[in-house]
Every structure is written in structure tokens, then in C-alpha cells.
Homo-oligomer: A and B are copies of this chain.
């Protein structure tokens, strides 16, 4: 086992976990390293594992029919990545997960995942809660995205992820906000002046 302390803490913090269950879970997770720009998943591939980000930063995006790249979210340390639809239904993904920095992940494969969902109530509970939380957050973001101006979206992003401009390329931040890189430049200048 070579998982980081943060992953061990995450597993150990699960309510009601026994030492035996902890070992069962830990030995099913393997470390995976990604280079900068390397893909964890590409459109058309089946997502065979989900991963916990120990170190690094990734983007989750779709290439739409109109040719645009829509970034759904970024993931930093202590986040989970993977395409749930592809992973659970074993069908080709319509999304990409790409490293924006060198990354260290700990991953569990589909068969081990299914086994743990069957035998471990703690694992099942943690995964179910993570999915619920992610869903709730997605709905919340969706509401803001509909009603906020581009500048409001940018300010909210900065508040939520103060590190984003240091770690994510300008054009990816623009794709996340759903605006052009030029518009983002204008907003950044305006906000910088106002501070």
C-alpha cells in the first residue's frame, strides 16, 4: 500500500468502519500517476476506474457537436474523478478527464468497486453520500450559472477556488465559465482595477 495520508484519513473517517473493512478497501485501491496533459479518460473509452486525487489538478470536459469544449468541472486534491455513467453502465464515455498538472491518484477498478458495494456497508454508504453531495452541488451550480452574469460567475469561481488562476490555463477557465478567452481577459482586467 502506498496511499497518501490524506487518502488514509478519508477512508478512516468513514462512520463505523472496522479495521478489517479498512484493509479490504485500501488493498483494492492502486496508485496511478499522470503526466501533465495526460488523459485519465477520453471520449469513446469505457471508464474502468474511479480515482481519488492525492496530488494535482484535472479538468472534466465534453466536446460538443458545435465544436465547443465545455468544461463541466475541475478537480483538485481530495476530489473524486471518473465518469459515473460510463463507469456504472460500462458504456463509452462522452467526456474527457485530462491532467492539467502532473497528478497522483488512487483508483479502484469496476470489479473491485462492485465487490465492495456488495460486501461493505461502509463503502456503499460513503459512495452513495459522495454521489448525493455531488448531485446537490451540480444543481446548485446550475442555478447560479443560469442567473449570474459572466462577471458574477468569475467572482464566484475565484471565491470557491482561489487557486484556480494559478493552476488552470486561462482558456480552460474561460471554457468553464462558458465565455471566450477575450471576454475573460476583459473581466479579469475590470475586476483587478476595482480591487
Contact = CB atoms under 8 A, between A and B. Distances in A.
Interface of A: 61-62, 64, 66, 68-73, 84-85, 88, 94, 128, 131-132, 134-136, 138-148, 152, 175-178
Count of this chain's copies in the oligomeric assembly: 2
* Chain A interface helix/strand/loop/mixed: helix
A7 to B, nearest CB: 23
A63 B177 CA distance: 21
A133 to B, nearest CB: 8
Contacts of A148: 64, 66
Contacts of A72: 139, 142-143, 146
A135 B140 CA distance: 12
A70 to B, nearest CB: 4
